[in-house]
Structure 1
Amino acid sequence: MILTVTPNAALDDTYEVPDARFGEVNRVAAVHRRPGGKGVNVARVLHGLGHEVVATGLAGGAAGRQIEEGLAALGVPAAFTPVAGESRRTVTVVGAEVTMFCEPGPTVTAAEWAAFLARYETLARDAAVVVLSGSLPPGVPPDAYARLTRLAPGPVILDADGEALRLGLAGRPAVVKPNAEELARVSGTGDTAAGIRALRAAGARTVVASLGAGGVVADTPGGALRAALDRPVPGNPTGAGDALAAGLAAGLAVDRPWPDLLRNAVALAACAVRSPVAGEIDAAAVPALLPHVSVRAEEDHAARPHE
């Protein structure tokens, strides 16, 4: 089983507005409302691929109920800890460009966080891989991801930003998956290789840096690799990172060799870009994309072997 953790789950609204203009009245062509938050999106992708997965995290209020009901309707197993506050909503406007509006989330009490930790420890014992994703709501300790990583018996993938990522590195996660902007923010440099070295020095065992249309650069136990699609994929990129994380988790769960793991994960990310809604992919399209993903060795970014 793969366990995904979304401390700041959300109810996601996606508006398709082909000619969106800020400062004017816009007519929405289509509305998609789904349970979301990064870990929830990872769980939905994994479920769509036929993997055994459980989504956990914190959820509260009417939005929290809709998140849980939405996952149940999709057939995704979930085990959320209730909170008194109202879970957040996000709004994504998809037009010529993609714009997101993200609420901060509910304030979590110490008792609610303790209840979540107890449930998490039980779930993590049965997990082949744990995926920790997204922002931390107010009230959750800033080093939460480090503690959750240490509590997990198996490998952990960390996909976060800012302070949550910086402090989470102390837990020594098996894989850290920043995008280019997140890598620059946490490392203090815009140089990908230097940023990867900084994250490994801070505790990451493997770093997979997502570079958008440039694919990924991964510092793996077998050396540094770059995996990229041979053609750009138009669409909505907001769910691509979550699909990439899903591919990494699926590969780690069966100990797939890193070149194959990265090829599959990049193909999944490309499929996600084609979908107007984060967390959804056309699984049948993945095999056709795999031959278009190249994987090649890069100059090593950090000393090996791993500890």
Structure 2
Amino acid sequence: MTRALVVDDSHFMRTVISDILDDGGIDVVDTAANGTQAVRKVEDVDPDVVTMDVEMPEMNGIEATEEIMARHPTPILMLSALTTEDADATLEAMEKGAVDTFAKPGGTISTELSGHSEELVTAVEDVAAADPTAGHRVEQSTTATPEPEGSAEYVDYPTLLIGASTGGPNVVESILGALPRAADFRVLVVQHMPDQFTSRFAKRLDRSSEYDIAEAEDGSRISGGEGLVARGDYHMRVSGYSNGRLRVRLDKEERKHSVRPAIDVTMESAADKISDPLVAVVLTGMGTDGASGIEAVKGAGGRTLAQDEATSAVFGIPQRAIETGCVDEVLAADRLAEAITDSIRRSS
């Protein structure tokens, strides 16, 4: 049975979360009212997973996450209110080592959380299965890959497709941060993430990379040096492509693999519409999303890569893609940007 520590400064929320987890077959071994208590109790009870509030007195969720990862690495699920401030703080906590996030419906003191019991239990179980130290084995880089002597020559009009889930945001950021602008990719990112977070994630990627990254809108168009992050709760499909410029369409069609946006939807539509070079990468995450997309990109003549098990918080998505036999290379997270770039260099 999964053992959880519930951390929230609201007694009401601690009770609600604990009851939901107990009913879902998760053993809540203890609770904490702030980050200071959380750090101590993680060492005392050694839980399989921690649900962590963001805003708390004495020590907030970001600080507590950093302390726990330094002293007693444990999978952490951030429970965040649906506010811009909490979204930014949650992304920062994930940078410090938190594995994933779950958005509290209805605000900080949520009376609506019980209506999302099944999703919360699933999220806690998924995070409990993650390797909390995987992120520390990823060499985070926000510096573009240096080019060899002389100007590198790349193929024309390449498109990069990135799909990720649990544990993915930091890896996505490290890849885009190391991607040389001269490669002139069109970039499409599908990160399983609540819809209140994808706009903040896109802004974070925009700041840390040489590419112009934005959250996708219906009808968005991009050219070389630009990228889109799929909006939470919307599938992102490539709907048109001409002369190196692509267009996307957003829709709320049925979830695929129980998720929306789905990696497969974006990759399959890209493989169908884009005639120029494609590179597809699947990263850490739970589930099977991305396997069919990798098959489609490979079938269209594209290059396919997957993150390795050692640096994946959860190896589900990469493993399922590898099992298709359509992945060209399996690499550590900190080697992916170079492999992506190398795949579009012109032969000398």
| Alignment TM-score, normalising by the size of structure 1 | 0.32
Radius of gyration: which is bigger? 2
Q: Which has the higher contact order (CA 8 A, sep 6+)?
A: 1
